[in-house]
Homo-oligomer: A and B are copies of this chain.
Amino acid sequence: MTDLVTFGETMLRLSPPQQERLETADQYDVHIAGAESNVAVAAQRLGLDTAWLSKLPNSPVGRRVTGELRRHGVTVEVSWDDSDDGRQGTYYLEQGDVPRGNDVIYDRAGASITTLATGEVPEGLVEDADALHTSGITPALSDRVETTTADLLERANDAGTTTCFDLNYRSKLWSHAEARSVVTELFPDIDVLVVAQRDAEQVLGRTGDALDVAASLTADHGFDVTVVTRGADGVVAATADDEYVQGSFEASDAHPVGSGDSFVGGFLSQYLTTGSVPEGLEWGAATAALKRSVPGDIAVVSPSEVRELIEGETAAISR
């Protein structure tokens, strides 16, 4: 049985080596990148049996995505798009340095996943899993996928599958108002909400102390747990009965992209198996920290590395 199914788009990420610029570099590094597949990879590497659900063009570039995910052990549940119009979503990432920030150019409009209908999802995939995870990016991709997202969350909920949702607001995909309208429609089918404090404020209108935000979201929507992330300030969480605070681990600034998804993957790897929120938060924070030292979007980490970081073992070379 699958422990965790994640659902969303995975793009090709094209980025100049080192600090080179998109305008002038002669080579681009190629990675794959998708919020939900990032979660799947992190969770799989940390012990869960995960699957990733999506739609891709049937091409070498589409197969690159699935190959890279399978490499990390994730089961791939892809609806292959053989149409002439289906395309592979891509994004350009330029990694900056002080004072030049990272620059992102999305080129994801019309990607194959925007046509994914509920009927293309295998029967039982979601129902037979322990948990289903998706993010606010997915329903923002197209009206069709918004419907599919709602359908799958409902099917999961009906089947007793734990549902996890990372709000993950993307200003280049929709407005705050659109996001609020759609995601609050989904809330009744959601068990675990992860939301950045800024998104809680701007999309959901929840201001104030992070713990209060978490507690009120849990209370208002009946979530099992709400996790509010605060970047370098760590994360907090609230269930109906308890509140939790987890600091962040010291980490490099070199490869921040994907660390939020790595948090979710680390969190779920424990929360789904032990039911413990604080253990989940600790594993999430450690996984996110380790990710920041790894090039690409994906947390190429191992359970022992997470465990050693939590246990505070030194980084001295063992030889």
Which residues of A approach B to under 8 Å, CB–CB? 14, 17-30, 59-61, 63-64, 67-68, 70-73, 84-85, 87-88, 90, 92, 94, 96-107, 109-110, 170-172, 249-252, 254-257, 286, 289-290, 292-295, 300, 305, 309, 314-319
Chain B residues lying within 8 Å of A67, measured Cβ to Cβ, are 23-24, 71-72
Q: A319 touches which one: B100, B172, B250, B316 (CB < 8 A)?
A: B172
Cβ-closest 7 pairs across A and B: A101-B315, A97-B293, A22-B60, A100-B293, A71-B71, A97-B252, A67-B71
Residues of the B chain whose Cβ atoms lie less than 8 Å from the Cβ of A300? 21, 23-24
Q: Would A249 and B61 be within 8 Å (CB), given that A28-B14, A319-B104 are in contact?
A: no
Contact of A22 with B249 in the complex, beta carbons under 8 Å? no
Residues of B within 8 A of A171 (CB): 318-319
Contact (Cβ within 8 A) A319 B170:
yes
Q: Which residues of B contact A59 (CB under 8 A)?
A: 105
Q: A23-B300, A171-B319, A317-B257 are in contact. Are A293 and B110 (CB under 8 A)?
A: no
A170 to B318, CA, bound (A): 8
What's the least CB distance linking A255 to chain B, in Å?
7
Provide the bound-state CA to CA distance between A29 and B25, in Å: 9
Evaluate contact between A30 and B27: CB separation under 8 angstroms.
yes
A137's nearest neighbour on chain B, judged by CB, is B319
Indicate if the CB atoms of A98 and B26 lie closer than 8 Å: no
Other-chain contact of A100, B29, B61, B97, B305 (Cβ < 8 Å)? B305
